[in-house]
Amino acid sequence: PSGIITIPVVVHVIYNHSGENLSDAQIQSQIDVLNEDFRRLNADADNLWGQAADAEIEFCLASRDPYGDATCGITRTQTDSIKFYSKFTMKSSATGGIDPWPYQDYLNIWVCDISGLLGFARFPEYSDPELYDGVVTDYLSFGRIGNLKEDFNLGRTTTHEVGHWLNLRHIWGDGDCFYDDFVSDTPVSDDHNYGCNPGHISCGSVDMVQNYMDYSDDVCMNLFTIGQKNRMRALFEPGGFRTSLLT
Ligand code: ARG
Ligand code: ZN
Ligand code: CA
Tell me the ipTM for this assembly.
0.95
Residue 48 has pLDDT above 90, yes or no: yes
- Report residue 7: phi and psi, to 5°: -110, 120
Q: What is the pTM of this model?
A: 0.98
**Nearest-CA residue for atom 7 of ligand 1:** 157
In this structure, the number of other CB atoms found within 10 A of the CB of residue 187 comes to 20
**Ligand lying nearest the CA atom of residue 172:** 3
Show the 3-state SS of the chain. CCCCEEEEEEEEEEECCHHHCCCHHHHHHHHHHHHHHCCCCCCCCCCCCCCECCCCEEEEECCECCCCCECCCEEEEECCCCCCCCCCHHHCHHHCCCCCCCCCCCEEEEEECCCCCCEEECCCCCCCHHHHCCEEEEHHHCCCCCCCCCCCCCCHHHHHHHHHHCCCCCCCCCCCCCCCCCCCCCCCCCCCCEECCCCCEECCEECCCCECCCEECHHHCCECEHHHHHHHHHHHCCCCCCHHHHC
Residue 34 has pLDDT above 90, yes or no: yes
Residue 185 · residue 51 · CB < 8 Å: yes
Average pLDDT over residues 93-102: 98
pLDDT at 247: 83
Q: Which amino acid is at 233?
A: R
Centre of ligand 3 from the C-alpha of residue 215, in Å: 15
Atom of ligand 1 nearest to the CA of 218: 10
Average pLDDT over residues 26-43: 99
Could you say which of 58, 130, 150, 161 is catalytic?
161
The rounded percent of the chain whose pLDDT value lies above 70 is 100
Residue 157 CB–ligand 1 contact under 6 Å = yes
Residue 156 CB–ligand 1 contact under 6 Å = yes
CA distance 193 to 237: 32
Centre of ligand 1 from the C-alpha of residue 64, in Å: 30
pLDDT tens-digit profile of 3-29? 999 999 999 999 999 999 999 999 999
CA distance 155 to 35: 11
Give catalytic status of residue 150 as yes or no. Answer: no
Atom of ligand 1 nearest to the CA of 141: 11
Which of 141, 160, 172 gets mutated to test ligand 1 (max ligand atoms within 8 A of its CB)? 160
pLDDT tens-digit profile of 220-234? 999 999 999 999 999
Average pLDDT over residues 83-102: 98
pLDDT tens-digit profile of 111-165? 999 999 999 999 999 999 999 999 999 999 999 999 999 999 999 999 999 999 9
Residue 212 CB–ligand 1 contact under 6 Å = no
